[in-house]
Structure 1
């Protein structure tokens, strides 16, 4: 089986004690590809070291996470621009708007989101969107920026059926992770009304561990629990879902 985890923070401090074992456990479960979203400049070295350790498996993004957008966000975006000038990345992410924790920098989040979409278009890269308590704000910007040069993944999708269709209309795949296994996750009630061609799998590890690990540290090997739940929702074999969702990830990332 060839499974792709389209969103995992394997460089996180949560894995400092056993990172290599975490990666090896995932590979043993059939997870061959790990796409690594950025947060801010303080994590760049850790991301590069992870790639050096697993060059066949790890694919890096660059970008500024919305919860890390502060008054000095332009300096962080300059770091992103510098990295893009130096080497290859597979996406701009994770970027977007988060109004769950703090609304103080909403205007800066909106500006950072737009500027990073423009960077993605300039470098012909997909975007990976973080959206929390901000569907209207994110969709407003996607409406402004829509076009053939806009594509990517709506990471950790937790919206309604109507919001799912809207995200797809902007050329986004839906990133489905541990929430699909939650009793109150809700997306399992309509997911099978959406073609599997629009779905990719993710963990967002170390966050959002699926059942039966909910509340514990998540890791990429647990994507098998997400895969099995999605296979059950679509009434398909897990192998087939792994194949389709990996193909979808190849379409997004170009690799």
Structure 2
């Protein structure tokens, strides 16, 4: 049994064949899919995916850093409204993205800090997006050490030093399709840091693993990531499934 801890299955790219990709997920023993939020334009579609399904689909709530614009305060208010109405499995995805657009860098920090505060308040994990900003995200999370903050650095692709710092903060590493890329270097990092703080994810429909790299990703590809991780670590697929599933259950209180 596998858990995909990060998949945007409510995206238009996947909704066109919703029933089929969910059936493929179940056939691949991916029995639970955690859905990170993006912004007000996708909340409704995400929440609708929690309906009856052969696979358990569970929502997070948050504001993606790439959606932090001039109206970010209104976006945060909508998130707070959702958080007051019901329980979510995590806050996210949030964080910092210094790859695409730096025009709202200061606002990204404000939004990230607010969502950290909510994660602590509601005692749920936070799911961190850290593209071109891993160091900055680690530094910010470090400021909350000892305050009960927990979570995962989604789509981790950093160095051994960064991985160890993240794990020392009590956080997990979200490992996805990048592990299967020949020149990512993530395989060597994983050999050095071990499995104690690892969860699996696809980030579907993005970052499909080899041999589907460049094509649409989906949760059914989790076993391809697990297979590569088992080769890297020199353990069986069963062990990868057991450890990563237990880690996800513990982190997200499933």
The answer to whether the superposition gives a TM-score over 0.5 is yes
Helix, strand or coil for the counterpart of 1:41?
coil
Deviations 1:171-209 (A, max 9, x none): 110000000000111110120221311100000000000
Runs of 4+ displaced beyond 3 Å: none
| Deviation for aligned residue 1:56 | 6.0
Q: Secondary structure at the match of 1:224?
A: helix
- SS of alignment partner, residue 113 of structure 1: helix
The answer for the alignment partner of 2:249 in structure 1 is 250
**C-alpha distance in 1 between matches for 2:227 and 2:47:** 31
Partners of 1:216 and 1:138 lie apart in 2 by 29
Q: State the match for 2:176 in structure 1.
A: 177
CA separation in 2, counterparts of 1:214 and 1:92? 28
Per the alignment, in what secondary structure is the counterpart of residue 183 of structure 2?
coil
Within a 5 Å distance, the mapping from 1:125-140 to structure 2 comes to 125-140=124-139
TM-score normalised by length of structure 1: 0.97
Deviations 1:25-71 (A, max 9, x none): 01111000100000001111111110013386111100000000011
**2:235 matched residue in structure 1:** 236
Instruction: Determine if the alignment matches structure 1 residue 33 to structure 2 residue 22.
Output: no
**226-235 or 191-200, larger mean C-alpha shift:** 191-200
Question: Gaps (5+ residues) in structure 2?
Answer: none
Question: What is the alpha-carbon distance in structure 2 between the residues aligned to residue 226 and residue 10 of structure 1?
Answer: 18
Report the CA distance between 1:213 and its aligned residue: 0.2
> How many corresponding residue pairs?
254
Using the TM superposition, name which of 183-192 and 91-100 deviates more.
Answer: 183-192
Question: How is 1:45-84 mapped onto 2 (pairs within 5 angstroms)?
Answer: 45-54=44-53, 57-84=56-83
SS at match of 2:143: helix
Task: Give the corresponding residue for 1:149.
Answer: 148
C-alpha distance in structure 2 between counterparts of 1:157 and 1:240, whole Å: 21
